[in-house]
Chains A and B, each alone.
Chain A
Amino acid sequence: MTTQIGGYWGKLIEVDMTTGKVEITDRHMQYVSDYIGGHALGSKLLWEALKDKPGIDPMGPENVFMILPGPLGGIPIPGGGSRYNTICKSAMTQAKNSPYGENGATVAWSAAGGKFGPTLKMAGFDGIYVTGASATPKVLYVNNGEVELLDGSKYWGMSTHEFEETIQNEYGPMYKNCCVGPAAENGVRFACVMSETGRANGRGGTGAVMASKKLKGVIVNGTMPVPVANKEELLDKIKFYHNTIMASSNADVRRRWGTGSGLTQRSNMSVTSCRNHREGMNPYDDKIGIGVIHSEFWIRHRSCYGCPWRCMKIGVIRQGEHAGAIAEGPEYESAMNGANWLLDDMGEFAAIMEKLEGYGFDLIGLGGLVGYALEAYENGVITSKDIDGIKLEWSNGVEIMKFMDALVSNHTNPIYDWFRRGSTYAALKIDAERKTDSVKYAMDSKNHSFAAHNVHGQEAATGYNGLEMGYAVGHRGACHINGVTPAAMNNMMIRDMGVFCSFSTAYGAQGETDILNFIMGTSYTLDQMNYIASRARNIEKVFNLREGFTVEDDTLPWRTFNDPYQWGPKKGALLPEDKFKETRKNYYTEMGWDPETGIPTKGKLQELGLEDLIPYLPK
């Protein structure tokens, strides 16, 4: 590419894992002005790679796995420079009735902060594009412009913590890495890509896909200044945004508690995930709520690159059976592993967090799966005989940890092969075998777990209810950071293009556009950014339709509509199904899609300049 755009080197690392060939290309540059970067750019690249190969096995060599920091990667603008996305066809999601059977899956993307993304950028590359699959484990080594695919056999099987420490000892403390853990290596689909012990690209099973390519990790050192459009003003601008974010209204809360304060706050509001999403209020908030976490667990704060908010917390258990357990968190989503399992012991809560970070589980996916398994066990749908004597009872952290171990290491008992694929998948298999109907409380959409927000009992503020649209129509399955209205969803897409942090809301979409323009040397208006976001969202929608997803998949589990809260201030709350269907219809209409089927109209695609998608629409 001849035109220089700020924030980009024009270099993408392409690795063919099958042949071991590494190439530097500019495949992405032709799309940058139309898709900016991050999530939107990734979705476009994924579409271009897979549009004519519907129904490929997401765990097979045809799938493409991408690591994409955005144009801001490596520039210490708070909440902007630290993040990167992983993008691929999802290893997690499932369509109810896909012509491709179990291979019909959605797009998947997941963002994480920390220092891996910016370091990759400062090493002189805009991202990594992985195809094929290797027979033996590999690691990708990147150092200031050099790339090499190295043998990774000795690292395979290491926990994410062991990998991190080994790399630091072997290469030095300036090397950053991302890696997959034993969960991903052993075929757990809700496995993430981890960096710096606790930063996770959690959702969508992108870690499972990375592991399916036998890529254990990426080791990177980078110290080159990322090219930016307005170099002279950079320091002043960075200072300005640092002050902006420090002065924003939620700075104090986030600096002090991270997102953790939500654990108690949202429990009080009765909208957290509790007892496998049947309840919204955590009865054990006095045992594992934010007060206890703060006084008994947290030790220090930690920041992502260039951000003064340091919302990441690290703690250690100081006494009792689990003394010495060190974990990053809990953050708000950790409610999936606490309240959702009715845990009542801080030591167990911390020990579980330590274990799941080491194994590299997506904590939300694990929370949903174990939540389902606990309830199925209570109802006698599965018994301890089925799971090698494990007593899977609510609140029993020690037995739950045994179950986590088995998920990773038990390859003799076939029931774990079902559990490794998520709650609805497991429920359908179990129900078919045992004539039960446990799928009613498999709390996910498209086999992708609900996050730690319950949709029962959330009040309508926007004409939309709480998060139910985010969960039902999310393009990667149930998703809590996807937005709930078409406008909010565009904003979220703009955020994911930067790639901006979900919490640095101080900028707003306009502020984010300004920052991107400043770095890239462009002059996008907010309208243009919205147009770009809509385009990316429609591409994802068509990707999913083509994989066999229909309006039947844009829904929520039985419990949400039929199983009211049994305790707490909102006892009896439900989400009325007819109201849900009406909201969904409004959502489709607002998107310019067919209100009954949710299929984008030809007119809408033409309006967005996406005529080339029309042939891919379902007939």
Chain B
Amino acid sequence: MTDMSNKVLETVQNKALPFANMSRRSFLKGALVAGGALALAGCGETTVKTVTVTEKVTVTVPADTVPTETKNMVTSPMFIMPQYQDCVGCNICMAYCALSHYGELDLNKSNIQVYGIDIKGGMVDIPVLCMHCSDSPCMASCPDKVQAISKDEVTGALLIDHDKCTGCGLCIEACATTVWDPTGNGWGDRKGRTGCLRAHDELGVVGMCDLCDGNPECVTACPENCLRLSNHKGGCPGQYWALNEKELAQQVWNLLYGCK
């Protein structure tokens, strides 16, 4: 980095706390003092830009101080791992995903969905999103004639061409979760995917995460640092996230509240 951009980074870090990385307590403290000043100065500011300054830190600064250099967070195949017990259900990730991809706040189109589930008054929030299975059954299921789904070579992200997609739903089926069969069959021939794909009237299918071209909006946006990038063996092994949101919720509930 140039001297200039180092300086910008320094000033910015002292001014505003972007979405907290909660392990950085000291960082947080420094940010609190000058925060009000930024808020005031920023009120009338119309030309603001958002820029990724380091891998984890996105800040909003007046346009004329924006360094030109940005860096991709995803440089090899990765997937996003939600830390379920940390999610507070703020839906900020959904809003950012929808707005950055479609320019409108249609949460139904967001590739990440957060389900708030109530069990005996103890709420748990379950983010559901694509795990970028390394064997991509969704892509494989897309009919040869259509081939609407492709894979980004660098990030391993799935790209769906909504113009080509016919909405046949085969990928949705390929990405289904499996329910444990207590009558002896166990997991059976389980698919065990995330179940993140959903049919959509206008777009055919939604939920295919493109990792925001290497700068995942939801990961930077999450105030709880609950969405974490992992590059485990070039993508999630697949057949890993077998539970649907309700079962996941029960597991998380057991972990948090089940203490008798």
Q: Which residues of A contact B (CB under 8 A)?
A: 74-76, 115, 122, 161, 164-165, 168, 173-174, 196-198, 223-226, 228, 231-232, 234-236, 238-240, 242-244, 246-249, 251-252, 255, 299-308, 310, 314, 316, 318, 323-324, 326-328, 354, 357-358, 506-507, 510-511, 514
Contacts and interface: CB of A to CB of B under 8 A. Distances in A.
Contact of A306 (B49, B92, B106, B256): B92
B60 A161 contact: no
5 contacts: A243-B60, A247-B34, A248-B35, A302-B89, A514-B44
Contacts of A302: 88-89, 123, 125
Nearest to B39: A244
Given A234-B99, A246-B19, A305-B90, A326 B122 contact: yes
6 A-B pairs with least C-beta separation: A247-B35, A308-B223, A303-B90, A223-B108, A310-B88, A173-B115
B257 interface: yes
Contact of B39 (A248, A300, A323): A248
A476 to B, nearest CB: 28
Given A196-B116, A247-B32, A236 B89 contact: no
Interface stretch (B10-18, B71-79, B171-179, B183-191): B10-18
Given A223-B108, A316-B256, 17 more contacts: A168-B118, A236-B48, A244-B39, A246-B223, A247-B35, A248-B39, A249-B35, A249-B36, A299-B257, A310-B88, A310-B223, A324-B259, A324-B260, A357-B121, A511-B39, A511-B43, A514-B43
Given A75-B105, A247-B15, A306-B90, A174 B123 contact: no
A240 B48 contact: yes
Interface in B65-108: 85, 88-92, 95-96, 98-100, 103-108
B59 to A, nearest CB: 7
B106 A225 contact: yes
A616 to B, nearest CB: 40
B31 A247 contact: yes
Given A168-B118, A300-B85, A305 B91 contact: yes
A122 B88 CA distance: 21
B39 A303 contact: no
Contacts of B246: 173
A100 to B, nearest CB: 40
Contacts of B113: 174
B90 A308 contact: yes
B165 interface: no
Given A173-B115, A248-B39, A511-B43, A165 B120 contact: yes
A164 B35 contact: no
B117 interface: yes
Contacts of B95: 76, 238, 306
A243 B89 contact: no
Contacts of A314: 122-123
Contacts of B16: 243-244, 246-247
- Which of A74, A197, A239, A251 is packed against the most chain B CB atoms within 10 Å? A239
- Which of B43, B95, B118 is packed against the most chain A CB atoms within 10 Å? B118
B213 interface: no
A255 to B, nearest CB: 8
B92 to A, nearest CB: 6
Contacts of B260: 323-324
Interface string B118-142: 1111110100000000000000000
B156 to A, nearest CB: 25
A543 B215 CA distance: 55
Given A165-B119, A310-B223, A226 B18 contact: no
Contacts of B107: 122, 223
Contacts of B32: 247, 249, 251-252
Given A244-B39, A249-B35, A235 B100 contact: yes
A249 B32 CA distance: 5
A613 B116 CA distance: 46
B121 A243 contact: no
A173 B115 CA distance: 6
Contacts of A228: 105
Given A242-B19, A304-B90, A306-B90, A506 B39 contact: yes
Nearest to A238: B95
B42 A303 contact: no
Nearest to A81: B95
B30 to A, nearest CB: 11
Given A231-B104, A246-B20, A248-B36, A115 B116 contact: yes
Interface string B216-237: 0000010110000000000000
A324 B120 CA distance: 10
A328 to B, nearest CB: 7
B15 A168 contact: no
B98 to A, nearest CB: 8
Contacts of A197: 118, 121, 123
A198 B89 CA distance: 14
B116 A173 contact: yes
Contact of A308 (B39, B44, B92, B121): B92
B28 interface: yes
B147 interface: no
Given A251-B32, A299-B257, A173 B245 contact: yes
Contacts of A74: 105
Given A244-B38, A247-B32, A231 B103 contact: yes
Given A235-B96, A247-B16, A300-B85, A307 B120 contact: no
B166 interface: no
A164 B118 contact: yes
B17 A251 contact: yes
A326 B259 contact: no
B193 to A, nearest CB: 18
Nearest to B98: A225
B50 interface: yes
Interface string B242-260: 0001100000000011011
B92 A242 contact: yes
A401 to B, nearest CB: 16
B123 A358 contact: no
A239 B259 contact: no
A419 B33 CA distance: 48
Contact of B42 (A122, A240, A307): A240
A232 B60 contact: no
A161 B43 contact: no
Contacts of A303: 88-91
A225 B98 CA distance: 10
Given A225-B106, A324-B259, A354 B48 contact: no
A520 to B, nearest CB: 15
Contacts of A247: 15-17, 31-32, 34-36, 38-39
Contact of B59 (A161, A168, A243, A299): A243
Contacts of B100: 235
Contacts of A174: 113, 115
Interface in B1-57: 15-20, 28-29, 31-36, 38-39, 42-44, 48-50
Given A196-B118, A197-B118, A308-B92, A316 B257 contact: yes
A134 B177 CA distance: 43
Contacts of B123: 196-197, 302, 314, 328
Contacts of B39: 244, 247-248, 506-507, 511
B253 to A, nearest CB: 10
Nearest to B38: A247
A226 B105 contact: yes
Nearest to A318: B259
A239 B121 contact: no
Contact of A224 (B15, B60, B85, B106): B106
B260 to A, nearest CB: 5
Contacts of A165: 118-120
Contacts of B58: 239
